Amino acid sequence: MSEATETMTPELDAERRSNFDANQKFTWHHKTQVAGVEWKNPVGTASGTFNFDAVKWFYDVSQLGAVSTKGVSPVPWEGNPVPRTAETPAGSVNSVGLQNPGVDYYLEHDLPALKAAGATVITNVAGHSDDDYAEVVSKLADHESDMLEINVSCPNVSADGLSTGTDPVALKRLVKRLRPLTDKPMIVKLTPNVTDIRPIAEACIEGGADALSMINTFVGMRFDIRTGKPILANITGGVSGPCVHPMALAFVYKTRQAFPEIPIIGIGGIMTGEDALEFLYAGANAVEVGSAALGDPVAPLRIATELDALLDKRPELAQALEEGRTW
Amino acid sequence: MSEFKPTYFPSRRPAQVVACEELTDGVVRLTLRDAFIAAHARPAQFVNLYTSNAQRLSPRPFGVCEVNGDEFTLIFAVIGKGTGEFRGLKPGQTVDVLGPLGRGYDLREPADYVLVGGGLGVPPLVRAAQELHGRDDCHATVLFGYRNVHFADRYAAKYSDDVRSIDESEGNVITILDRWAEERGIAGGADGHLLPCAEGERPVRILTCGPLGMMKAVSAWGRDHGVAVYASLEARMGCGFGTCVVCTVHTTRGILKTCVDGPVFNTAELEGWEAAR
Ligand SMILES: Cc1cc2nc3c(=O)[nH]c(=O)nc-3n(C[C@H](O)[C@H](O)[C@H](O)COP(=O)(O)OP(=O)(O)OC[C@H]3O[C@@H](n4cnc5c(N)ncnc54)[C@H](O)[C@@H]3O)c2cc1C
Ligand SMILES: Cc1cc2nc3c(=O)[nH]c(=O)nc-3n(C[C@H](O)[C@H](O)[C@H](O)COP(=O)(O)O)c2cc1C
Ligand code: FES
């Protein structure tokens, strides 16, 4: 199809950009720090729910605390068959299967574009084996991402097909192996599909992780009652959205109680500045907004402005974040 | 704190309901006010509607049917929870919208466009007829198939002097497509292919939207007659603007996203369609 049938014709684009620039008057009063990296506000995007090419028409991504990119693997991954999404009350179940064009493409296209746009970039890393992760982390080491976020929720052959994120021994081995491969702050993103998060967090810390982010999605599924079959072609998927917010808070809180020092990024079901604020009270240094950005592309920026106002009234919390501490 | 201002491409926003009427049982025509969508929605571009129930987060995509001043219309079937809610909208209420989204039909080429729609696939074709209306380098023939009530003919007839339709008791869109081709004297050469158009004659292009089985049949018909077919596909969507990658379709150009690379595709580039002929 032709360019002319796209929503974004060059004329429209020019017109919108001129309006856009007039609106660039955000002033952030409350920054935070995650593993020594300064975020201009405590709100970032969550991996897989942010795509620069899709949202650059809607807002200036440099205004966010940080953006976490779609997981990148050593080679392109095709992902799962469709349907890949099913609605569920206050959430959705998705089975994208980490479809992505691979790290080489990412380094050539996505990362330079994000840096040119002024974003603070967290590159999310996916792998099916320890070697996969090591390969991607090595390739990313001398490029300009600000932080790396290791997604240990994917099924991993090095951990008997289970996700490394559920096995403290395998996890510590992986993090230890990745640690010397890069100087960049390394966040490990944890899966909630475990009975106790503390030994998992401990394994990451002992392995040398600079920060933790939590949570990834819960395993779930929906059935079509007309056919009696699962809605997702992959049968199960990951549950996200406001329905996971209370559980995500508990994961952050328990981790913070057990490990007072480790920087934590809270993720799960954030729809408003107030939802984000709860994570800060649970002990997070920052948050990432996921599903909300699928229902409204500008949601992360809206949430950041709401949180900024809420922090105005909470000087003690704001002060702590600015100094790299937490509540 | 800084005030939250809208951005240069309008994001999700409330649109005012101008009218909401039931055309036939379970088929609703909804008129909404949104100057941006009305000004920019091209044929087969769609808009996301969102329910007012905060429990239901997924977008409901609908092809834009007509635009008029700062208003646009949709025609939809009542299927489940979202459309069940939208059917009850009253003038003066609002509903959240995002769009226009996607890549629509390319109508730049001077051609005889044959718009083949089935069921609730007709809205983008009415919009195509609207856009072709008044172009003296094009002609639009509208061929619609319905289950029973011919609910959209009158909207297409505003923009085309050649609207034909059929319902299940009489046949299907292929029946009227054959009739149309025969009338035009282009039933095909000995090899079943459309004879090359005469010098100066405009090429024929088929635009289709409707149930998958119908679009595949139209695509096969196009192939047999040497006519390019552009189909507007449906997919379950998580965002509608290219972020979530749940709406993928396998094509000869690779795995693409229905929402931003489509919903319109040349059927020749859709993989796996051949097998289903
Ligand atoms: C590009 C595009 C244009 C469309 N244009 C029209 C139109 O003009 N008129 C019309 O009647 N319908 C159209 N549809 C189909 C319409 O989106 C669905 O019928 C509608 O989303 C059903 O919502 P529901 O809440 O009533 O159903 P539910 O079954 O309650 O929906 C549950 C979830 O599944 C999704 N879903 C269900 N059926 C479909 C479907 N067929 N396609 C995509 N998602 C679906 C819903 O969006 C929702 O997220 C279009 C679909 C697409 C992709
Ligand atoms: C469509 C979709 C794709 C996702 N892809 C990834 C991914 O590639 N890597 C990752 O670490 N997390 C991924 N996630 C998980 C989110 O980053 C986030 O952890 C989760 O959705 C919980 O946050 P939320 O409730 O705000 O959505 C994905 C989530 C969704 C909904
Ligand atoms: S629906 Fe999200 S990428 Fe197409």
**B241 within 8 A of B98, measured Cβ to Cβ:** yes
Ligand closest to CA B212: 1
The ipTM estimated for the assembled molecules is 0.91
Q: What is the pLDDT of residues B165-221, one digit of tens each?
A: 999 999 999 999 999 988 877 655 444 455 555 556 788 999 999 999 999 999 999
A66, A154, A204, A215: the active-site residue: A154
Q: What is the b/e burial string over A201-216, where b = at least 16 CB atoms within 10 angstroms of the residue's CB? A: bbbbbebebbbbbbbb
Q: How far apart are CA B96 and CA A22, in angstroms?
A: 25
The per-residue pLDDT for B6 is 42
Q: How far apart are CA B72 and CA B169, in angstroms?
A: 32
Which of B64, B207, B236, B245 would you mutate first to test chain A, the one with the most A CBs within 10 A? B245
Residue A304: enclosing H or E segment and its boundaries?
helix A299-312
- Of chain B, the percentage scoring pLDDT greater than 90 comes to 82
The residue assigned the tokens 């920052």 is: A286
The per-residue pLDDT for B5 is 45
**A106 within 8 A of A69, measured Cβ to Cβ:** yes
**A222 within 8 A of A232, measured Cβ to Cβ:** yes
Q: How far apart are CA B238 and CA B259, in angstroms?
A: 10
Identify which of B2, B107, B235 has the shortest CB distance to residue A27: B2
User: A178 — phi, psi (to 5°)?
Assistant: -75, -30
Residue A42 DSSP code: S
- Where does ligand 3 bind, in terms of residues with CB under 6 Å? B 237-240, 242-247, 257, 259
At B89, list the tokens.
Answer: 């909208």
User: B101 — phi, psi (to 5°)?
Assistant: -125, 155
At B230, list the tokens.
Answer: 């552009």
Instruction: Name the residue in chain A with its Cα closest to that of B12.
Output: A296
Q: Which residues make beta-bridge pairs with A85? A: A94
At B163, list the tokens.
Answer: 């609207």
The per-residue pLDDT for A14 is 55
Contacts of A212 (CB under 8 A, 6+ apart): A187, A188, A189, A190, A201, A204, A205, A255, A262, A263, A264, A265
At A155, list the tokens.
Answer: 């099924």
**B240 within 8 A of B97, measured Cβ to Cβ:** no
Q: What is the pLDDT of residues B5-45, one digit of tens each?
A: 445 678 899 999 999 999 999 999 999 999 999 999 999 99
**A305 within 8 A of A60, measured Cβ to Cβ:** no
Residue A240: enclosing H or E segment and its boundaries?
strand A237-240
The per-residue pLDDT for A11 is 56
For residue B140, pLDDT beyond 60: yes
The per-residue pLDDT for A258 is 98
Q: How far is CA B215 from CA A108, A318, B14, B220, B234, in A?
A: 38, 57, 33, 9, 11
- Map out the domains of chain B as residue ranges: 13-101, 112-269
Sheet holding B94-101, edge to edge: B60-63, B46-50, B94-101, B13-24, B27-33, B71-77, B66-68
At B219, list the tokens.
Answer: 């695509």
Residue ranges in A110-266 assigned as alpha helix (H) = 111-116, 130-140, 168-178, 197-207, 245-258
Contacts of A96 (CB under 8 A, 6+ apart): A48, A79, A80, A84, B244, B245, B246
Q: What is the pLDDT of residues A124-133, one digit of tens each?
A: 999 999 999 9
- pLDDT band, very low/low/confident/very high, at B4 (cuts 50, 70, 90): very low
Nearest to A291 by CA among A311, A272, A264, A265: A272
Amino acid of residue B76: F
Identify which of B7, B241, B245 has the shortest CB distance to residue A79: B245
**Taking CB atoms and an 8 Å cutoff, what residues of chain A touch B100?**
7
The per-residue pLDDT for B182 is 85
Instruction: Name the minimum distance, in Å, from the CA of B190 to any CA of chain A.
Output: 32
Residue A305 burial (CB count, 10 A): 21
CATH fold for domain B13-101: Elongation Factor Tu (Ef-tu); domain 3 (2.40.30)
3-state secondary structure B135-199: CCCCEEEEEEEECCCCCCHHHHHCCCCCEEEEECCCCCHHHHHHHHHHHCCCCCCCCCCCCCCCC
Is A154 catalytic? The answer is: yes
The per-residue pLDDT for B201 is 73
**A241 within 8 A of A269, measured Cβ to Cβ:** yes
Q: How far apart are CA B85 and CA B82, in angstroms?
A: 5
**In order of start, what are the domains of chain A with their CATH numbers?**
41-321 (3.20.20.70)
User: A14 — phi, psi (to 5°)?
Assistant: -60, -45
The residue assigned the tokens 């990834």 is: A216
Instruction: Give every residue of chain A whose pLDDT is below 50, as ranges.
Output: 1-6, 8, 20-23
The per-residue pLDDT for A18 is 52
Q: How far apart are CA B142 and CA B116, in angstroms?
A: 6
Ligand 1 mutation target, pool B89, B234, B248, most atoms within 8 A of CB: B234
Q: How far is CA A197 from CA A247, B162, B210, B264, in A?
A: 12, 67, 49, 46
The per-residue pLDDT for B271 is 86
Beta-carbon separation of B11 and A298 below 8 A: yes
Options 3.40.50.300, 3.40.50.80, 3.40.1160.10, 2.40.50.140; CATH for B112-269 is 3.40.50.80
Q: How far apart are CA A210 and CA A175, in angstroms?
A: 10
**Taking CB atoms and an 8 Å cutoff, what residues of chain B touch A99?**
245, 248, 255
